[in-house]
Amino acid sequence: MSRPSVSRRQFLGASGAALVTGLAGCSAGEGGTSTDTASSAETLKIGVLEDQSGNFALVGDPKAKASMLAIEEINANGGIDGKQIETFQRDPQSDNQRYQELTRTAINEENVDALWAGYSSATREAIRPIIDRNEQLYFYTTQYEGGVCDEFTFAVGPTARQQLGIVLPYLVEEFGPDIYTIAADYNFGQLSADWVKVLANENDANVLGEEFIPLSESSFGSTINRIQEADPDFVMSMLVGANHTSFYEQKASAGLDIPIGTSTAMAQGYEHRRLDAPAMANIYAGVNYMEEVPTESNTGDGGFVDRYFEMYPDAPYLNEEAETNYFSTYMYKKAVEQAGTTEQPEVIDALESGIELGTEEAPEAPEGETIRLDGATHHVDHHMWIMRADEEHNVEAVENRQIPETFLSETAGCNLPENPEQTQYTPVDYYEEAE
């Protein structure tokens, strides 16, 4: 487990005045704005709005970095169809209002050809009306609760049905049928908890109880007691954000020794690196990507991990969403080359024709195998992994397979090329047990 050098930080940390000294770097903190390319008609512009400060900085910063890595690689290899990529990159600071302002700027003033923006579902829903009104090609790259069927949005992260769909059946088989759900109290957590109920029903398991926890909460004593009282076989945790990370530390110190399945921990905020062992022991993450995913194009020599840390030697971790930003930039490249233009309606048509990436013929999808963009739903048939952390926080893959996104295609009947719409479907509309 290699850690980045901290010599600069050690130096700064040498005195209490370090905090003040750090301010000198304040003006340099604003993200770089454009890559160094000749400004001509032979360029195209990509907007990247990812959180580099604020509540989601820890998980958003790698997204911005991975986008820049993909763009630099593509530019170094001759660009897209001979066009160099310019970027419009800003830090929305985890602030949804700032997201809305910057999205308008990106579309109306910068005329971006494609936009990558936003970590949380709340952010996505805050800017989606602006995206739709302006008919802007938009990539949302976070793993999320699922259900967005929108003609201009490509939700290329895995959904709850994919993430929970791989980890929950495995845990039922390994440990038993009784589940206790804890989730963050906003749309992502609520809908994910509904998915736990749906999947529990499909796998003959039952949910003993559930608790929704405000994002600002960081004390979990009573939650831990309530879990112990319910005595489940395993816990499903969809806790989100820095405050909720305290749960894992606290359950370890309280001696709550129970397997935990999750769609949020480890892969995004690398808790297994940040927290002292054994806080994350016996945590099973259902994810499409982690830095530790053992594919050749990921951890092999000169693979994704090597290239990322060569460009960002001080970066702490390469997280799940960073990979999604990375491969979706390549998907966009493929689509533009197939369409032969950057005109957005034509590029969307090309994307809807079913773009594929994979380790065999194309190394741009480090999560493994061939992954395919489903044109009907704008979602990706991901290669999913169950990653388990042990007592020493070593992470190993215990299971992996490809899982298509079936909720939109099979259950909700989302077919965007035939029926353009801008809806978010929720499991409550289709499953009794989710109510």
User: Quick one: which H or E segment has residue 195?
Assistant: helix 187-202
Q: Residue 283 and residue 293: Cα distance in Å, rounded?
A: 16
Q: Residue 155 and residue 373: Cα distance in Å, rounded?
A: 10
Nearer to other proteins among residue 12 and residue 126 (C-beta): 12
Binding to other proteins by residue 19, rule CB under 8 A?
A: yes
With beta carbons less than 8 A apart as the criterion, state whether 179 and 233 touch.
yes
Q: Residue 304 and residue 363: Cα distance in Å, rounded?
A: 9
Instruction: Tell me the one-letter amino acid at 422.
Output: Q
Which segment (3-11, 153-161, 167-175, 338-346) binds other proteins by CB under 8 A?
3-11
Binding to other proteins by residue 390, rule CB under 8 A?
A: no
Binding to other proteins by residue 12, rule CB under 8 A?
A: yes
Does residue 332 sit in helix, strand or coil? helix
CB neighbours (10 Å) of residue 188?
Answer: 24
Binding to other proteins by residue 129, rule CB under 8 A?
A: no
Q: Residue 336 and residue 80: Cα distance in Å, rounded?
A: 7
- Please identify which residue in 45, 48, 61, 131 interacts with other proteins, judged by CB under 8 A: 61
Nearer to other proteins among residue 108 and residue 219 (C-beta): 219
Binding to other proteins by residue 208, rule CB under 8 A?
A: no
Q: Considering just the CA atoms, what is the radius of gyration of the chain in Å?
A: 21
Binding to other proteins by residue 217, rule CB under 8 A?
A: yes
Shortest separation between residue 230's beta carbon and other proteins, angstroms: 10
Binding to other proteins by residue 274, rule CB under 8 A?
A: yes
Binding to other proteins by residue 176, rule CB under 8 A?
A: no
Which segment (19-27, 305-313, 322-330, 369-377) binds other proteins by CB under 8 A?
19-27
* Adjacent-strand bridge partners of 181: 210, 236
Q: Residue 200 and residue 112: Cα distance in Å, rounded?
A: 43
Give the per-residue contact string, 28-57, with other proteins (x = CB under 8 A; - = no): -x-----------------------x-x-x
Q: Residue 219 and residue 216: Cα distance in Å, rounded?
A: 10
Q: Give the Cα-Cα-Cα angle 132, 133, 139 (nearest 5 degrees).
A: 30
- Please identify which residue in 122, 126, 254, 362 interacts with other proteins, judged by CB under 8 A: 254
Q: Residue 152 and residue 298: Cα distance in Å, rounded?
A: 30
Binding to other proteins by residue 5, rule CB under 8 A?
A: no
Binding to other proteins by residue 322, rule CB under 8 A?
A: no
Compute how many residues bind other proteins; rule: CB under 8 A.
58
The residues of the shown chain that bind other proteins, judged by CB under 8 A, are 6, 9-10, 12-13, 16, 18-23, 25-26, 29, 53, 55, 57-58, 61, 185, 211-214, 216-223, 225-226, 228-229, 231, 242-243, 245-246, 249-250, 252-256, 269, 273-277, 279, 314, 316
